[in-house]
A = this chain, B = another copy of it.
Amino acid sequence: MADGIPRALGELAAHCGAQLIGDATVLICGIASIESAKNGDIVFADSEHKLSAALACSASAVIAGTFASAKSTTKPLLIAADPKLAFTRVAQLLIESPKKEGIAPSAQVHASAKAGLHVRIDPGVIVDERVQIGDFSVIGANSVIGTGVMIGEQCRIGPNVTIYPGTELGNRVVVQAGTVLGSTGFGYVRDERGRYQLFPQVGRLLVEDDVEIGANCTIDRGALDATVIRRGSKLDNMVHVGHNVQIGEDVVIAAQTGISGSSQIGSRAIVGGQVGIAEHVRVEDGAILGAQSGVPSNKVIRGEGVVFWGTPARPIKGFLKELAVLARLARKQDK
Contact = CB atoms under 8 A, between A and B. Distances in A.
A312 interface: yes
A200 interface: yes
A84 to B, nearest CB: 5
A147 to B, nearest CB: 10
Given A273-B258, A278-B273, A325 B321 contact: no
Contacts of A248: none
A52 B16 CA distance: 57
Most chain B beta-carbon contacts within 10 A, residue among A106, A189, A252 = A189
Contact of A214 (B106, B186, B256): B186
B260 A35 contact: no
A274 interface: yes
Interface string A140-165: 11111010000000000011111010
A266 interface: no
Contacts of A123: 108, 126
Could you say which interface size class chain A belongs to?
A: 35 or more
Contacts of A1: 202-204, 224-225
Contact of A88 (B199, B203, B254, B310): B199
B255 A224 contact: no
Interface stretch (A63-71, A130-138, A326-334): A326-334
Interface stretch (A19-27, A113-121, A177-185): A177-185
A36 interface: yes
B186 A236 contact: yes
Given A126-B159, A140-B162, A278-B291, 19 more contacts: A1-B224, A31-B224, A36-B224, A36-B225, A85-B197, A88-B199, A91-B200, A92-B200, A158-B162, A158-B183, A162-B178, A186-B214, A186-B237, A216-B238, A274-B276, A276-B292, A321-B334, A324-B330, A325-B326
Interface of A: 1-2, 31-33, 35-36, 82, 84-85, 87-89, 91-92, 95, 106, 108, 122-124, 126, 140-144, 146, 158-162, 164, 174, 176-180, 183-184, 186, 188-191, 194-200, 202-204, 210, 212, 214-218, 220, 223-225, 232, 234, 236-238, 240, 242, 250, 252, 254-256, 258, 260, 268, 272-274, 276, 278, 291-292, 294, 296, 310-312, 314, 318, 321-327, 329-331, 333-334
